[in-house]
Amino acid sequence: MPKPLIALDWGTTRARAFLISETGAVLERRVADRGIQSVPPGGYPEAFAELAGDFRHATPDAAIVLAGMVGSRNGWIEARYVPCPASPAEIAAAAIKVDLDAGTRATILPGLSCDDGAFDVMRGEETLIVGLGVSDGIACLPGTHSKWAEIRQGRITRFASFMTGEIYGLLRNDSILARLAEAPSEADAVEGAARGRAATARPGGLLNTAFAARTEVLAGRMAGGAVGPYLSALLVGQEIAGAEALFGRGQEIHLVADGALAESYGTGLRARNHPVRIISPEAAFVAGVRRLAGELSA
């Protein structure tokens, strides 16, 4: 990068702002509950000023790049999806410009689409995948709607989404299983997760094994505190099995996660004989947005 970069990962509920030096060091960072759903029509320049106006004043020559849901049809302005397969250069070429004020413009990055038998989309995750710097491999980005992506010769060739986090919330909090669920102790968490991973391998599929979170408690064979960890590990295992059906078994997985998600998915992947490389979402975003910003100025 020839100059500093102000980069925002601007999602639906939260926004993460970074001031990045020419060498890639994060000089400042900020996280705020200022996602696009909190921004009124026409309010994006003001929202940007709240999030990163001081970054801009400190480094007036910095490039400004925005990624995530800010480029959706519900965001500032729609940056249309780039169809897969797509290279970093092709993603950057589809970016659009917006005016922050009379003298400053920002760039909004597009999302990706994929039609691999079923139409699928991502917006924001493509920046993290680019940040992996992988020429050939498989990436896993856990979350409310997890993304798995295949990279070949430096291009994102195809991907698939899994509603794992959302389904966990529904089952744990809003289904009949919630009636027996309790806050887990450390022992409950270990037991529940082990049971959930084991249940993934049983015949019957998710709809059958999820109900066992209720019946095992009723039978006195599992504590109520193990219900949540059981469901979490079961759903992660089912997600991994589904991704294996799409992308193959035993491959090294580039896991973009930290904290509990990194631990949960790392354990689940290794249990199914996948070598795992873990990178934090922040590190992947910073590397990816710098790469795409470099393509913009190339």
Q: Is the pTM of this model over 0.85?
A: yes
Q: CA dist 1 to 20, 53, 64, 131, Å?
A: 10, 21, 12, 14
Q: Is the pLDDT assigned to residue 2 strictly greater than 70?
A: no
Q: What is the dihedral of CA 134, 139, 142, 147, to 10 degrees?
A: 110
Do the bridges between strand 96-101 and strand 276-279 make them parallel or antiparallel, or are there none, so unpaired?
A: unpaired
Residue 63 lies in domain = 5-133+281-297
CATH number at residue 85: 3.30.420.300
To the nearest 10 degrees (0 to 180), the angle between helices 259-271 and 186-200 is: 40
Note whether 12 and 55 are same-domain residues. Answer: yes
Q: Is the pLDDT assigned to residue 198 strictly greater than 80?
A: yes
Note whether 25 and 103 are same-domain residues. Answer: yes
Note whether 22 and 72 are same-domain residues. Answer: yes
State pLDDT tens for residues 84-114.
999 999 999 999 999 998 788 999 999 999 9
State pLDDT tens for residues 41-85.
999 999 999 999 999 999 999 999 999 999 999 999 999 999 999
Note whether 49 and 101 are same-domain residues. Answer: yes
State pLDDT tens for residues 118-141.
999 999 999 999 999 999 999 999
d(CA 109, CA 278): 25
- Domain membership flag for residue 144: no
Please give the tally of structural domains in the chain. Answer: 2
Nearest CA to 156 among 90, 246, 93, 236? 90
State pLDDT tens for residues 223-254.
999 999 999 999 999 999 999 999 999 999 99
